[in-house]
Amino acid sequence: MLEIDAIILTNILQKEKDAMVSALTKDGLLSFYARGVKDNKSKNAAAVNIGVLAKLELSEGRQGGLHLKSGTLIKNLSARLNNLLDYASFNYAIELAMKGSEAIEDKEKAYEDLLNLLKADDKASFIVHLLIYIAHNINLLGAKMKVDGCIKCGDKHHIVTYSLDDGGLICDKHFDNFLFKKYEKDEINLFRFVFMAKQDDAYRVDLDLSYYLNLLDQFTRFLNDSVGINIKSFSLFKPFYKN
């Protein structure tokens, strides 16, 4: 018998009332079969919904594989979704957790990061939490960003842009018109902020949605082109990019 805290990432219907569930734990990804959880009367149903932190009791099946014996809901991330933008951000985070977990070596840190997102207070918009979560994941995936000074010379005071592909902030002396595009102070500060902030600091930033969407767009491209992770849920943000 295995007793473990886990965050539910996928829950796929099997037969009529069963589900195949994957969850993130401090040791990495875990899959198990959950009998009867798609039945309304199931006492375990609430513990295996996507975005739930649950205490799970698992046993080894006769033919191998893990089976759910019982599950207790501790906290539900989806309980704080208020609108379409929250919903899109939630889906993005869960998909990144699923796709990043294989590639991230520090399993415990990956779990902790998602746990911090789940446990964060709701003083800030979810999309800011998502940006912080992505930034931490980018670091965990090995693409360490330098955000305490210029990537070339360490200068802290004359930062004019940043480049994900080049690994962080860039000062005016190392700025190149052909390679980079200059950003506003607010854009640079947001970039720096999401890499340095903890989830509970999210409320400290309060910018127009377009700033968040712009950074999200860049993060998504970077994850796809440089890390090899394609986040399909990004398409849920499409309606917000039109205006």
| Distance in angstroms between the alpha carbons of the first and the last residue of the chain | 53
Sketch the per residue contact string, 165 through 194, with Zn ion: x for CB under 5 A, - otherwise: ------x-xx--------------------
Choose between 155 and 166: whose C-beta lies nearer to Zn ion. 155
Task: Provide the token pair at 37.
Answer: 């959880």
Question: Shortest gap between Cβ of 193 and Zn ion (angstroms)?
Answer: 20
Q: Which stretch binds Zn ion (CB under 5 A): 75-83, 94-102, 135-143, 163-171?
A: 163-171
Options 32-40, 125-133, 143-151, 198-206: segment touching Zn ion (CB under 5 A): 143-151
- The alpha carbon torsion through 227, 229, 230, 236 (nearest 10 deg) reads -110
Which residue sits closest to Zn ion, CB atoms considered?
A: 150
By beta-carbon proximity to Zn ion, the closer residue of 53 and 169 is 169
Nearer to Zn ion, 159 or 216 (CB): 159
Separation between Cα atoms, residue 11 and residue 22, nearest integer Å: 7
Q: How far is CA 233 from CA 42, 90, 128, in A?
A: 29, 9, 16
* Dihedral angle sign, alpha carbons of residues 190, 194, 196, 199: positive
Residue 152 interacts with Zn ion (CB under 5 A)? yes
Q: What is the C-alpha to C-alpha distance for residues 194 and 134, in angstroms, rounded to an integer? A: 8
Please list the residues that pair with 68 across neighbouring strands: 58
User: Among 12-20, 91-99, 153-161, 210-218, which window interacts with Zn ion (CB under 5 A)?
Assistant: 153-161
Position of tokens 């960003």? 145
d(CA 196, CA 147): 8
* By the rule CB under 5 A, 146 interacts with Zn ion: no
Site string for Zn ion, 96-135 (x = CB under 5 A): ----------------------------------------
State which residue, 41 or 181, has the beta carbon closest to Zn ion.
181
In the complex with Zn ion, which residue's Cβ is closer, 136 or 174? 174
- Report the alpha-carbon distance of residue 177 to residue 180 in Å, rounded: 6
CB 48 within 8 A of CB 11: yes
Residue count, binding to Zn ion (CB under 5 A): 7
Comparing CB distances to Zn ion, the nearer of 79 and 153 is 153
Contacts (Cβ under 8 Å, ≥6 apart) of 146: 167, 168, 169
- Nearest approach in angstroms of CB 187 to Zn ion is 18
Based on the shown chain and the rule CB under 5 A, indicate whether residue 150 belongs to the binding site for Zn ion: yes
- Residue whose token pair is 């446990």: 119
Q: Which residues here bind Zn ion, judged by CB under 5 A? A: 150, 152-153, 155, 171, 173-174
